[in-house]
Amino acid sequence: MSDAERAAYGGPGWSARSRSLREEVGTVWSRFGLDTEWAELNAVLLHRPGPELEVEDADASLMVSRPDAGRARAQHDALAGVYRAAGVHVRYVDPDEALPNQLFVADTMVMTPDGAIVGRPASTVRAGEERWVAKRLAALGIPIVRTVSGTGTFEGADAMWLDPETVLLATGLRTNGEGALQVAAILREQDVDVMPVVLPPGTMHLMGVLRILDRDLAVGWAGRLPEAAVKALTERGFEVRFVPDELEAREGHALNVVVLGPRRIVMPAGNPVTQAFYEELGVACTAVAMDELTRAAGAIGCATAVLERELARR
């Protein structure tokens, strides 16, 4: 047999790979992807906190105060139980040696319809968390379409899908201009428009000041949500409402929720004013105790990296 007749050289036995990556989901790749913030939630990635929470200096570890590791694990397990009860597949990052903020998995990645963008956390305290997330994504059969590199910093909580064609991308303390450029470039390769906004000083992430609860409902934090974001939302038909109790937003992390499906959320317990506000908007709330985890300066949204929602366009 000549080389021209061999499959390896393009002979009759050659089989060309003609399907797109999205068409290979479910065969070559595991199921993954999202293109909205409100569609039915199918799979999440978590890290069950361990002894890494037993820090000596809470402030130096980017925490508000030192958590009780055992109680934090129990609250985290309860959150995972809520997801499972809602039919959501729960996956875990299990690093060889976890860093103090490893449980806030949402900061280390963001999902797209073509695969995950792995971030690069902005603080030296968190440097390396992304390694374990990348390893776990690979093991789960989820493609990584970009890893933020060079001098770029990007945390997944600074990106939010306004609709299947548009992502709101914030720069500030945690995501710098170079990181945003890298994320925007890969999104544009997927025919997604990127709308940049700048977060005001004292704001950690976009996630902390905006949540999209349905295709026509967004909830924000007045005075912290950039006006450009409000304008982008209203232009796309969203009703933008603002949480009524700043104390609950700041200390109770009342905006730090995860959407289970249209107008269905899991939220931190102990925020009665905000929960009543959500319910008046027709949002069904499942409240979970998070007061120990919030000592680490985050809550439900921060602790949950979304792997899959029902896609509006496949």
Query: Does the pLDDT value for residue 139 go beyond 60?
Result: yes
pLDDT of the residue at 229 = 97
Check: CB of residue 183 under 8 Å from CB of residue 193.
no
pLDDT tens-digit profile of 52-100? 999 999 999 999 999 999 999 999 999 999 999 999 999 999 999 999 9
Per-residue pLDDT, averaged over 136-151, amounts to 98
Per-residue pLDDT, averaged over 202-227, amounts to 97
pLDDT of the residue at 1 = 83
pLDDT tens-digit profile of 227-286? 999 999 999 999 999 999 999 999 999 999 999 999 999 999 999 999 999 999 999 999
Confidence of residue 128 (pLDDT cuts 50, 70, 90): very high
Query: Does the pLDDT value for residue 314 go beyond 60?
Result: no
Instruction: State how far the Cα of 238 lies from the Cα of 218, in Å rounded to an integer.
Output: 6
Domains of the chain: 30-309 (3.75.10.10)
Q: Letter for the amino acid at 89?
A: H
